[in-house]
Structure 1
Amino acid sequence: MPDAPALKPAAKRLQEALDAFGLDLKVIEFPASTRTSEEAAEAIGCSVRQIAKSVILRGKRTDRPILVVASGVNRVDEKKVKALIGEKPGRADADFVRARTGFAIGGVAPVGHAEAPVTLLDRDLADLEEIWAAAGTPNAVFRLTPDQLARITGGQWVDVRQE
Structure 2
Amino acid sequence: MSDRSRESDAATRASTVLDHPAVARVRQALSDAGVQADIVVLDGAARTAAQAAEALGTSVSAIANSLVFVATTTDHVTVPLLVLTSGGHRVDTDHLAVTLGYARIAKADAEFVRAATGFAIGGVAPVAHAGAVTTMVDASLAEHEVVWAAAGHPHTVFPTTHDELVRVTGGRSVTVR
Is 1:33–2:45 an aligned residue pair?
A: yes
Residue pair 2:139, 2:162 contacting (<8 A) in 1 also: no
Q: Percent identity?
A: 46
| Structure possessing the higher radius of gyration over alpha carbons | 2
Residue pair 2:67, 2:83 contacting (<8 A) in 1 also: yes
Pick aligned residue for 1:57 from 66, 69, 79: 69
CA distance in 2, matches of 1:59, 1:148: 24
Deviates more, 1:4-13 or 1:102-111: 4-13
Partner residue in 1 for 2:146 = 130
Q: Where does the alignment leave 5 or more consecutive residues of structure 1 unmatched?
A: none
Pick aligned residue for 1:9 from 3, 7, 21: 21
Partner residue in 2 for 1:86 = 101
Which amino acid in structure 2 is aligned with residue 5 of structure 1?
S
CA distance in 2, matches of 1:112, 1:62: 23
Residue pair 2:29, 2:128 contacting (<8 A) in 1 also: yes
Partner residue in 1 for 2:91 = 76
The offset of 1:22, in angstroms, is 1.4
CA distance in 2, matches of 1:25, 1:53: 18
Pick aligned residue for 2:81 from 44, 66, 69: 66
Pick aligned residue for 2:159 from 129, 138, 143: 143
The offset of 1:31, in angstroms, is 2.2
Query: Which structure dedicates a bigger proportion of its chain to helix?
Result: 2
The offset of 1:137, in angstroms, is 0.9
The offset of 1:74, in angstroms, is 0.2
Partner residue in 2 for 1:104 = 120
CA distance in 2, matches of 1:112, 1:100: 11
Residue pair 2:45, 2:51 contacting (<8 A) in 1 also: yes
The offset of 1:117, in angstroms, is 1.3
Which amino acid in structure 2 is aligned with residue 86 of structure 1?
G
The offset of 1:84, in angstroms, is 2.2
Pick aligned residue for 1:47 from 59, 73, 83: 59
Say how many residue pairs are matched.
Answer: 160
Cα RMSD after superposing both structures = 1.6
The offset of 1:51, in angstroms, is 0.1
Please, what TM-score do these two structures have when normalized by structure 1?
A: 0.92
CA distance in 2, matches of 1:153, 1:117: 9
Segments of 4+ moved more than 6 angstroms = none
CA distance in 1, matches of 2:146, 2:42: 19
CA distance in 1, matches of 2:34, 2:175: 29
Which amino acid in structure 1 is aligned with residue 83 of structure 2?
V
SS of 1:31's equivalent in the other structure is coil
SS of 2:33's equivalent in the other structure is coil
SS of 2:123's equivalent in the other structure is coil
Partner residue in 2 for 1:156 = 172
